Structure 1
Amino acid sequence: MSSGEERTRMFSLRSVVTLILLIMLGASLLWASFNLNLPEPEEMREIILSYGWAGWLVFVGITAAIAITPIPITVPALVAGSLYGVIIGTLLSLSGVMIGSWLGYWLARLLGQRLTFQLLGRHSDIVQSYLSDAGFWAVFTVRVMPGLPYWPVNYGAGALGIGQYVFISATFLASVPGQISLVSLGAFAVNPSLFYGIILVVAWVAVLILTWISYRYWSPTKRDTGESEK
């Protein structure tokens, strides 16, 4: 066997081993994330506060970890508002959500469609229906769709090969109103000021408008019309 053939064989073997290790790592992370229990809001506050100035890093890490699981991201956003106020709280909560969404996206890219859709379970058909050959607007409207959690969209977008730029930009823009609405609710609960109240009302109005837009975009009549035009 020539040296070139030997190097090619070694490279192929290394690639296979690396792929197996990455798949095992991805599956382990998914299993761990799906079996972790979310701390109670007060317990989460204590954990974050116990780290002093570094508490914001802990908060972002917790939020990112939750964002790759079926656990709703509501509680961390409320905690962010109660601890950091609307502006800083939104920035931190949104950062954690985006990091977690990006990790979920790449975990699905790593694991592939078959394993990812097995993990999605009852959400797999919905995700495939909405995100197959999807562009920015489709991802955006799915993100604000009521009743569909974050995590199936993250995994579905990665498994179906949606472009990273489309996924990240649509996720960011669609997440901002929802995060502000939740964070402002947490801030208003501990400090019911006029400023927080105005932000709370405006944010929830924006969420309702986006929900209506999503409903109109994905209504059966709209989808049937769009499919017939293709």
Structure 2
Amino acid sequence: MLAVAITGSVPSTGRVREFGDGLGGAAPFVWPLVFALISVVVPWPISAGATGLLFGTALGTVLALTGVLVQAVVQFWLARRVAGEHLRRRVLERAPRVSAALERNGLLASFYGRIVPGLPWGMVNYAAGLSRVRLRELLLGTLAGGTPKVFAYVALGGSFGDLGRPEAIVAISLLVILALGGLVIARRGLLSTDAP
């Protein structure tokens, strides 16, 4: 996106990968922080796709997942340490089902929160920080529920320009399966206040 803004043209896949390769040994340490920062203003699936384009599917998945976890920690602690009671009430009122589910079972709610389509991950992170959820529960739920989606978006980015590649087909299939599973979870009300 930055390259498009600066040059006015879309760089080739090869040029983007050259940039990723140019980061060298710093990439595993720098990119997750960049990912977390970018994802504040750009939806994380786009950041994950860019990560796949830059670093390929294998390394990209690890880096994007690390970025997702960094962002979860930062948002959790901001909510827990900085947010006042007014903000706490406001967020919990805007997301009562998520909040109630987090209070009941933080690990399971964090897991479901990564699968249900259309549920912003940042909202889950902030709601977890405003509730009694332990950071460990949020991170484990994020790893278990988020890894398949992160892999899928990274694989799509890594397959940019050739969506007929096997990893792109697997990624698209996985996203469809996760969306359907997430809809079943939402439909059955597993995030509702009535769920056991």
**TM-score relative to the length of structure 2:** 0.76
Which of residues 145, 150, 153 in structure 1 aligns to 2:116?
145
Q: How far is 1:77 from its partner?
A: 1.2
- SS of residue in 1 equivalent to 2:160: helix
Alignment of 1:6-21 (within 5 A): none
The equivalent of 1:114 in structure 2 is 85
- SS of residue in 2 equivalent to 1:189: coil
Which of residues 9, 20, 31 in structure 2 aligns to 1:59?
31
Is residue 139 of structure 2 the alignment partner of residue 184 of structure 1? no
Alignment of 1:8-87 (within 5 A): 40=2, 42=4, 49=20, 52-53=23-24, 54-67=26-39, 69=40, 71-87=42-58
Identify if the C-alpha distance between structure 1 residues 179 and 223 changes in structure 2 by more than 3 Å, giving closer, same or farther: closer
Identify if the C-alpha distance between structure 1 residues 208 and 193 changes in structure 2 by more than 3 Å, giving closer, same or farther: closer
Q: How far is 1:62 from its partner?
A: 1.4
Which of residues 169, 178, 181 in structure 2 aligns to 1:210?
178
Identify if the C-alpha distance between structure 1 residues 222 and 215 changes in structure 2 by more than 3 Å, giving closer, same or farther: same
Identify if the C-alpha distance between structure 1 residues 89 and 208 changes in structure 2 by more than 3 Å, giving closer, same or farther: same
The equivalent of 1:33 in structure 2 is none
- RMSD between aligned alpha carbons? 3.3
Is residue 187 of structure 2 the alignment partner of residue 219 of structure 1? yes
Identify if the C-alpha distance between structure 1 residues 43 and 150 changes in structure 2 by more than 3 Å, giving closer, same or farther: farther
Q: How far is 1:128 from its partner?
A: 2.4
Contact map agreement 2:99 2:128 (CA 8 A) in 1:
no
Contact map agreement 1:41 1:76 (CA 8 A) in 2:
no
More helix by percentage = 1
- SS of residue in 2 equivalent to 1:218: helix
Contact map agreement 1:109 1:159 (CA 8 A) in 2:
yes
Identify if the C-alpha distance between structure 1 residues 148 and 73 changes in structure 2 by more than 3 Å, giving closer, same or farther: same
Identify if the C-alpha distance between structure 1 residues 126 and 72 changes in structure 2 by more than 3 Å, giving closer, same or farther: farther
Cα distance between partner residues in 1 of 2:85 and 2:45: 29
Cα distance between partner residues in 2 of 1:210 and 1:113: 35
**TM-score relative to the length of structure 1:** 0.66
Contact map agreement 2:92 2:99 (CA 8 A) in 1:
no
The equivalent of 1:171 in structure 2 is 142
Identity of aligned residues (%): 23
